[in-house]
Chains A and B, each alone.
Chain A
């Protein structure tokens, strides 16, 4: 029985659309960054789309997530508005953070997106607090920490897995193991090849999942979400995946990875994999695929146009929002 059987074609098409949206958004963000329209630094999520979309497809809008410096994908997967995202990247007042955050700090608390976070492992504790809040609210909410292989070596990962396990917090810890922490290979800094095996130290389930197989990600996440909602506590899910692009979009960004390795992973494109599966199962034809592509690009163009016609903040707005009223 195909793994995808318990996912309706509609839901799978929606997943495909979201992954495609992330990919096209990132391509545009990279291009506009190199064109000087987006400032600072941009980290692209291309190649890892199945993780954000697979996990977020298993969540409700009221569930909360936190992201990393590579946060566009999680924002889109949780339902963020492309216009406000792009406006934020463009440094405009209409952006999610009124131009105060930029690419590394997209947040939308209204949809449970507690922010991209520029500090590796910085968000893990914060979203564990959201998990504690969900437990205290008692409405069955869950919280999800997205983080990378690099963060799994940092203190907050271990501290929070221990606390979440001890307190049975409704948490998913989703490690996107893209094999590199910035430019350093995970193999050089991890004694064990599977980060998920660390779950045993905290007495919680640890699963290794093919992070480029969105159905596998969705199913693992769904089981972990069920477990969390039932009060049984947190899970650690390690999604093995790969980022196609360098750590950041900076020109001359050093990238020590072998070309062959990058090319081999590109052959395992998560978007193409779902597309093929859907077509094989009769859930998508060429015409629908082209329409989807057109609609995704149109939404992106609309977002870019919104960003471009949005005003920059007034300089003195730099003094606002330091404190809440």
Chain B
């Protein structure tokens, strides 16, 4: 199968959907050139750097029969649009009794490692998971980013596509034919017996590397990639933990009230899963600090394959 990079696969998903549905248009502060060349400036709108207005305009156009894509670029830029995201987009369908749909896609890169310091290295998806009325996903492969983006564009709700900045150049197989990936379906990336690692995006790859390392020590690790955050596939995560009896959650975000806390709770509050636990769930997350600039500092803040492997060894000691 041909290979595409993560960002090429994302672009292909958008271009294919825009060819299929003339109601889709795209707003971003700097238009993506291949899209602009193919679809022209009516559908690929160059906008001022005003994410609050763009987000609201997207909501209004969605409620008026269009299917807008609002590209925030980096997640950090969407914080000036929090009223529109939290008070408007997330609530407008519910608050008005479901009168009309708001098919609306937001795109934002997340993650660190770029040596760009605190404001440009964020992974705040759990803030959005906490808001009822938004769907969201965070893919780990080119295949997934394309399939999930297509599902998002065809969904009749506000959806946030969080895209890992560390993975934009990652290459992987992407079929030429049309396909979608449903929300709420986690994928077991590697099967194992002794421990389950639930990891997101870049950390899926680190977890797989850690699993290779642990395999040499005779430790068999299962790696589960949730792919979509809302809805979250609690069933598959629980099934894996019931099998292995041990859970480690790896997240590029800090632990406090985060995705990792949610997964730990989903597993612990389920009687059947809790009964199978051989050790308390363990979280391997970023430190709960703003992300620093200097490589020495930044590397210290983020989890990696070594910390994940060390965490699994601790789980087995317990």
Residues of chain A touching chain B, judged by Cβ–Cβ distance below 8 Å, are 64, 66, 95-101, 105, 107-110, 114-115, 117-119, 122, 124-134, 136-137, 143, 155-156, 159-160, 162-163, 166, 320-325
Q: A129 touches which one: B61, B80, B94 (CB < 8 A)?
A: B61
Which residues in B have their C-beta under 8 angstroms from that of A114?
Answer: 60, 63
* B98:A129 contact, CB within 8 angstroms: no
Does any Cβ of A come within 8 Å of B83's Cβ? yes
Interface residues in B71-119 by Cβ distance below 8 A to A read 80, 83-84, 87-88, 92-103
Residues of chain B touching chain A, judged by Cβ–Cβ distance below 8 Å, are 25, 42, 47-48, 50, 52-66, 68, 80, 83-84, 87-88, 92-103, 132-133, 135, 156-157
Measured CB to CB, the nearest residue on chain A to B84 is A125
Q: B95 touches which one: A101, A130, A156 (CB < 8 A)?
A: A101
Q: B59 touches which one: A105, A129, A159, A160 (CB < 8 A)?
A: A129
* A163:B47 contact, CB within 8 angstroms: yes
Least CB distance, B122 to chain A, in whole angstroms? 21
Q: Contacts A101-B95, A122-B88, A323-B93 known; A130 to B48 CB distance under 8 Å?
A: no
CA distance A240 to B3 in the complex (A): 63
* A128:B97 contact, CB within 8 angstroms: no
Which residues in B have their C-beta under 8 angstroms from that of A95?
Answer: 97
* A321:B60 contact, CB within 8 angstroms: no
The 8 sampled A-B contact pairs (Cβ below 8 Å) are A126-B60, A130-B60, A159-B52, A162-B48, A163-B50, A322-B133, A324-B98, A324-B157
* A129:B97 contact, CB within 8 angstroms: no
* A324:B96 contact, CB within 8 angstroms: no
CB-based A-B contact count at 8 angstroms: 141
CA distance A114 to B97 in the complex (A): 12
CA distance A138 to B102 in the complex (A): 21
Q: Contacts A119-B87, A136-B66, A323-B135 known; A125 to B52 CB distance under 8 Å?
A: yes
CA distance A137 to B92 in the complex (A): 23
Q: A321 touches which one: B50, B80, B98, B156 (CB < 8 A)?
A: B98
Q: Contacts A159-B48, A159-B52, A162-B48 known; A132 to B96 CB distance under 8 Å?
A: no
Which residues in A have their C-beta under 8 angstroms from that of B93?
Answer: 321-324
Q: Contacts A119-B87, A320-B98 known; A125 to B55 CB distance under 8 Å?
A: yes
* B96:A97 contact, CB within 8 angstroms: yes
Which residues in B have their C-beta under 8 angstroms from that of A320?
Answer: 98
* A323:B133 contact, CB within 8 angstroms: yes
Measured CB to CB, the nearest residue on chain A to B51 is A159
Q: A126 touches which one: B59, B80, B100 (CB < 8 A)?
A: B59
Least CB distance, B221 to chain A, in whole angstroms? 34
Which residues in B have their C-beta under 8 angstroms from that of A99?
Answer: 97
* B87:A163 contact, CB within 8 angstroms: no
CA distance A131 to B103 in the complex (A): 17
* A122:B87 contact, CB within 8 angstroms: yes
* B61:A130 contact, CB within 8 angstroms: yes
CA distance A118 to B47 in the complex (A): 27
Which residues in B have their C-beta under 8 angstroms from that of A110?
Answer: 99
Kindly name the residue among B48, B65, B68, B88 whose own CB sees the greatest number of chain A CB atoms within 10 A: B88
* A323:B56 contact, CB within 8 angstroms: no
Kindly name the residue among B42, B57, B83 whose own CB sees the greatest number of chain A CB atoms within 10 A: B57
Which residues in A have their C-beta under 8 angstroms from that of B66?
Answer: 133, 136
CA distance A323 to B94 in the complex (A): 7
* A98:B97 contact, CB within 8 angstroms: yes
Which residues in B have their C-beta under 8 angstroms from that of A126?
Answer: 56-57, 59-60, 63, 84, 88, 92
Q: Contacts A109-B63, A322-B133 known; A129 to B99 CB distance under 8 Å?
A: no
* B132:A322 contact, CB within 8 angstroms: yes
* B55:A324 contact, CB within 8 angstroms: no
Q: B42 touches which one: A97, A136, A155, A162 (CB < 8 A)?
A: A136
CA distance A254 to B102 in the complex (A): 38
Least CB distance, B100 to chain A, in whole angstroms? 5
Least CB distance, B264 to chain A, in whole angstroms? 24
Known A-B contacts: A100-B96, A119-B83, A129-B64. Give 18 more (CB < 8 A).
A97-B95, A97-B99, A118-B87, A119-B88, A122-B56, A125-B53, A126-B63, A129-B60, A129-B63, A129-B68, A132-B57, A133-B61, A155-B80, A156-B52, A162-B48, A322-B133, A324-B103, A324-B156
Q: A96 touches which one: B54, B57, B96 (CB < 8 A)?
A: B96
Which residues in A have their C-beta under 8 angstroms from that of B133?
Answer: 322-323
CA distance A155 to B83 in the complex (A): 11
Which residues in A have their C-beta under 8 angstroms from that of B68?
Answer: 129
CA distance A320 to B47 in the complex (A): 35
CA distance A324 to B61 in the complex (A): 16
Which residues in A have their C-beta under 8 angstroms from that of B97?
Answer: 95-101, 321
Least CB distance, B92 to chain A, in whole angstroms? 7
CA distance A155 to B100 in the complex (A): 27
Which residues in B have their C-beta under 8 angstroms from that of A155?
Answer: 50, 52-53, 80
Which residues in A have their C-beta under 8 angstroms from that of B94?
Answer: 100, 321-322
Measured CB to CB, the nearest residue on chain A to B27 is A132
Least CB distance, B39 to chain A, in whole angstroms? 13
Q: B64 touches which one: A97, A130, A166, A324 (CB < 8 A)?
A: A130
Kindly name the residue among B64, B98, B132, B157 whose own CB sees the greatest number of chain A CB atoms within 10 A: B64
Which residues in B have their C-beta under 8 angstroms from that of A101?
Answer: 95-97
CA distance A101 to B48 in the complex (A): 33
Measured CB to CB, the nearest residue on chain B to A120 is B83
A-B residue pairs, 9 tightest by C-beta = A125-B56, A129-B60, A133-B64, A97-B97, A159-B53, A321-B98, A129-B57, A98-B97, A126-B60
CA distance A108 to B22 in the complex (A): 26
* A166:B60 contact, CB within 8 angstroms: no
Which residues in B have their C-beta under 8 angstroms from that of A105?
Answer: 95-96
